[in-house]
């Protein structure tokens, strides 16, 4: 994303820091290997990777502004997510992408998946968090940079068709945005994640790993 996007659609919002602190505490710390290497694809302001506890942390984004937002100890890597050549093969234990793949073409996503197959370790996985078009169709194109459409079904099928084994699908993982009048607190987010049903849940979470390497 260019700097104009971060000055308009994706301005820094401290509430997102609260969200990601809660997500780490209540969900991701249970699935991210603390002894591994974590790659945040399209890391933006670094809200996810800054909260991660791991042996090695890498934030990759086309936006050069990441250098001003990534925490100490997080390695900034400025470049396109479709070019992972600077990463060592079999070096990534947990790859993560939040609200990324709707911003690139389907061909570009397939290229990312092909490269990740080589970059992940034997235990490596990819986790994706992004809008679920099935539930967010009214607001989906309020973001002028959205170019691809996915539901939890179509994204899972795309992964399977490109040699990945889908491990987990959560069709309604989170509300779509923090841009609302609802209060944002770690306690409320923890409660929301524990609910058996997800009112206003419009973001999906999928986890997958390469199949039959």
Q: What is the pTM of this model?
A: 0.89
pLDDT band at 150 (very low <50, low <70, confident <90, very high): very high
Answer yes or no: is pLDDT of 8 > 50.
no
Q: What is the pLDDT of residues 37-82, one digit of tens each?
A: 999 999 999 999 999 999 999 999 999 999 999 999 999 999 999 9
Domains along the sequence of the chain with CATH:
3-210 (3.40.50.150)
pLDDT band at 138 (very low <50, low <70, confident <90, very high): very high
Here the tokens at position 84 are 């992972």
Q: In 180-212, which positions are buried (b, 16+ CB within 10 angstroms) versus exposed (e)?
A: eeeebebeebeebbeeeebeebbbbbbbbbbee
User: DSSP character for 55?
Assistant: S
d(Cα 131, Cα 140) in Å, to the nearest integer? 7
Q: Are 173 and 199 in contact (CB under 8 A)?
A: no
Q: Are 165 and 206 in contact (CB under 8 A)?
A: no
Least confident of 15-19, 128-132, 149-153: 15-19
Measure the CA angle with vertex 131, ends 181 and 205; round to 5°. Answer: 110
């Amino acid at each position: 994303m260019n700097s104009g996007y971060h000055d308009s659609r994706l301005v820094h919002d401290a509430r997102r820091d609260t969200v990601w602190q809660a997500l780490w505490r209540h969900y991701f710390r249970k699935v991210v290997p603390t002894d591994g290497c974590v790659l945040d694809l399209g890391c933006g302001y670094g809200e996810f990777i800054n909260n991660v506890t791991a042996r090695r942390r890498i934030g990759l984004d086309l936006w050069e502004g990441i250098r001003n937002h990534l925490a100490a100890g997080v390695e900034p890597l400025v470049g396109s997510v479709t070019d992972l050549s600077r990463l060592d093969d079999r070096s990534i234990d947990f790859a993560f992408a939040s609200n990324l793949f709707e911003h690139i073409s389907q061909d570009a996503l397939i290229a990312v998946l092909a490269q990740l197959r080589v970059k992940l370790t034997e235990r490596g996985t990819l986790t994706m968090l992004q809008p679920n078009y099935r539930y967010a169709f009214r607001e989906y194109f309020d973001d002028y940079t959205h170019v691809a459409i996915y539901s939890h079904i179509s994204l899972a099928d795309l992964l399977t068709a490109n040699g990945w084994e889908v491990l987990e699908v959560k069709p309604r993982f989170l509300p779509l945005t923090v841009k609302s009048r609802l209060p944002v607190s770690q306690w409320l987010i923890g409660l929301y994640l524990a609910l058996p049903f997800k009112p206003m849940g419009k973001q999906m979470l999928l986890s997958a790993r390469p199949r039959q390497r």
